[in-house]
Amino acid sequence: MRNILVILLVLLSGQLLAQVNLPSFFSDNMVLQRNAEVNFWGWGNRGSEVTITPSWSNQPVKVKASGHARFETKLKTPEAGGPYEITVESGTYKKVLKNILIGEVWLCSGQSNMQWNANNRLKEMLDELPTANHPNIRLLNVSNVASLTPQDNIFDAWTPCTSETVRNFSAIGYFIAKQLQADLKVPIGIINSSWGGTAAEFWTPENVILADTELLQNSKKQRPAPSKPHEPGSLWNSMIGPFVGYSIAGTFWYQGESNIVSYDGYNKLFETMIKSWRDAWGSEFPFYYVQIAPYDYKSKPEEQRGALLREQQVKTLHLPKTAMAVVTDLVPDVTNIHPTQKKEVAQRLSELALVETYGKKSEDYKSPVYKSHRVEGDKIIIEFDYLKGSLKVNGPHIIDLLIADGSQKFIPADYKVSGNKLIVYNKAIKNPVAVRFGFSDISMPNLFNSKGLPVSPFRTDDWKI
């Protein structure tokens, strides 16, 4: 009997020593980035050899766990396809990851306008649910968990897109995946890591915030609340950092409303966050984002913090591989901070990716943005970036178009559309100095490009509001 116990203990200890643990997101049903060398990692007994064999090549990759019991290697992926398997072995341990697809992987993040789903009674998603069964779309829905220290795993695994699994998944993320899958004809993996009411500081590594006095002081304007964390880096630590290195094609972002308390520093914060994510991945991946929608923040007339934050978001466009979707026309109610039209937002974001990442041929596929102006006599001529075709006005006249002279007093302006230029004037002003268009928290202006995309609100001055 004693000898039998010894043998059992030896066998048991061998099994324990051979044990391998993988991050939860290396799971059945996952999507790996196509035509890439994707990172693959996990934990095993220190010094033990781990063999990873992907079925698309049947070529085993051997790697040893470090003294920290971690192993990491790269797997070369083929063109889109599947389903495949990955077999992970170490000693007597064997695990097979099944139903894996190779395609395009995108990360969606931000606050509630990115997070909202069918459970929030979005009609577009409720209408979609009966037919939302897409075996070539896979979802990774990251749990809302904050941490004051960096984490190396999450609680979530990939699932196929079904009427049930998509119910609590980002509506924008789902519609993006559906559009990309339809156009690209490849499997799509969408990661949703978003949390309502959260500021960009929470999604930025804490050490980056602490290293900059301005960012740190602005972060202190975020107050504790029962529904969210308030510390810098607390969501980076637990909702982004754990899967850094998981190869992605790029990121979609919808956030900003919770940063109006520090609107004047948003561009710096946003650029810092984007750069920190790219640095962590070691990749200058595309970063496409939504300009916040019109909403009545109950600001004083001289504040208009929503308009000022939108202005900051435009400044971020100078970063490489960024683009912005403007949604000033998709707001049925400016007293609701959650506009219900998510499908069109997703289509605008998808179009940015299809053109700029995947090479689709298109002109005027994104909203015009103020480029420059010049004064000619009693008129100001406005020129725009991202505009090759003509401007068009939806309605009898442009609303919320104002002009001012040196007195800095704005009055309603007249205008003339000349192709892709806007000529602004008012007979009462002989020496115009500045123009503002849709520059308020709640403005929903009606100037568009020929494809129906709204012109981003702007001002040509830098005066106090």
Can you tell me the distance from the alpha carbon of 299 to that of 306, in angstroms, rounded to the nearest whole number?
9
The answer on 278 and 298 residing in a single domain is yes
47: domain CATH number is 2.60.40.10
Answer yes or no: is 423 within a domain: yes
Task: Show the CA angle centred on residue 341, arms to residues 336 and 345, nearest 5°.
Answer: 115
Euclidean distance between the first and the last CA atom of the chain, given in angstroms as a whole number = 87
User: Are the C-beta atoms of residues 71 and 44 closer than 8 Å to each other?
Assistant: yes
204: which 2 tokens?
A: 């930025």
Look at residues 356, 386, 415 and tell me which one is the last residue of a structural domain.
Answer: 356
Can you tell me the distance from the alpha carbon of 156 to that of 75, in angstroms, rounded to the nearest whole number?
22
The answer on 341 and 227 residing in a single domain is yes
The answer on 33 and 176 residing in a single domain is no
User: What range does the domain containing 221 cover?
Assistant: 102-356
- pLDDT of residue 2 exceeding 70: no
Q: Is 82 helix (H, G, I), strand (E, B) or coil?
A: strand
Look at residues 74, 101, 128 and tell me which one is the last residue of a structural domain.
Answer: 101
Beta bridge partners of 290: 325
127: which 2 tokens?
A: 């209408």
The answer on 171 and 318 residing in a single domain is yes
Answer yes or no: is 6 within a domain: no
- pLDDT of residue 1 exceeding 90: no
DSSP codes of every residue in 46-70: TT-EEEEEETTT---EEEE--TTSE
Can you tell me the distance from the alpha carbon of 91 to that of 50, in angstroms, rounded to the nearest whole number?
8
Residue that has been written with the tokens 């695994």 in this structure? 157
Phi-psi region of 342 (alpha: psi -120 to 50; beta: other; left: phi over 0): alpha
User: Are the C-beta atoms of residues 94 and 86 closer than 8 Å to each other?
Assistant: no
> DSSP code of 291?
P
User: Are the C-beta atoms of residues 115 and 194 closer than 8 Å to each other?
Assistant: yes
What pLDDT shows up at residue 354? 98
- pLDDT of residue 8 exceeding 90: no
Residue 218 contacts by C-beta under 8 Å, 6 or more apart in sequence? 201, 262, 265, 269
294: domain CATH number is 3.40.50.1110
* pLDDT tens track for 183-219: 999 999 999 999 999 999 999 999 999 999 999 999 9
Residue 328 contacts by C-beta under 8 Å, 6 or more apart in sequence? 291, 293, 294, 438, 443, 444, 445, 454, 456, 457
> DSSP code of 454?
B
The answer on 291 and 198 residing in a single domain is yes
The answer on 385 and 320 residing in a single domain is no
The answer on 290 and 191 residing in a single domain is yes
* pLDDT tens track for 28-55: 999 999 999 999 999 999 999 999 999 9
How many domains does the chain fold into?
3
Query: Using 50, 70 and 90 to split pLDDT, how confident is the model at 231?
Result: very high
Tally of residues, the chain: 465
Query: Using 50, 70 and 90 to split pLDDT, how confident is the model at 18?
Result: low
The answer on 35 and 159 residing in a single domain is no
> DSSP code of 36?
S
What pLDDT shows up at residue 95? 97
What pLDDT shows up at residue 465? 84
* pLDDT tens track for 134-191: 999 999 999 999 999 999 999 999 999 999 999 999 999 999 999 999 999 999 999 9
The answer on 173 and 206 residing in a single domain is yes
What pLDDT shows up at residue 4? 41
Answer yes or no: is 67 within a domain: yes
What pLDDT shows up at residue 376? 98
Can you tell me the distance from the alpha carbon of 343 to that of 349, in angstroms, rounded to the nearest whole number?
10
The answer on 450 and 349 residing in a single domain is no
For residues 123-133, average pLDDT = 98
What pLDDT shows up at residue 10? 38
- pLDDT of residue 125 exceeding 60: yes
Percent of all residues in the chain with a pLDDT value above 70, rounded to a whole number:
96
Answer yes or no: is 432 within a domain: yes
User: Are the C-beta atoms of residues 9 and 34 closer than 8 Å to each other?
Assistant: no
User: Are the C-beta atoms of residues 286 and 321 closer than 8 Å to each other?
Assistant: yes
The one-letter code for the residue type at 385 is D
Can you tell me the distance from the alpha carbon of 462 to that of 148, in angstroms, rounded to the nearest whole number?
39
Pseudo-torsion of CA 259, 262, 267, 268, nearest 10°? -120
Answer yes or no: is 138 within a domain: yes
Answer yes or no: is 209 within a domain: yes
The answer on 209 and 106 residing in a single domain is yes
Look at residues 101, 116, 146 and tell me which one is the last residue of a structural domain.
Answer: 101
Answer yes or no: is 11 within a domain: no
Query: Using 50, 70 and 90 to split pLDDT, how confident is the model at 232?
Result: very high
What pLDDT shows up at residue 302? 80
User: Are the C-beta atoms of residues 464 and 347 closer than 8 Å to each other?
Assistant: no
The answer on 115 and 129 residing in a single domain is yes
The mean pLDDT of the chain is 95
Global pTM value: 0.95
Answer yes or no: is 341 within a domain: yes
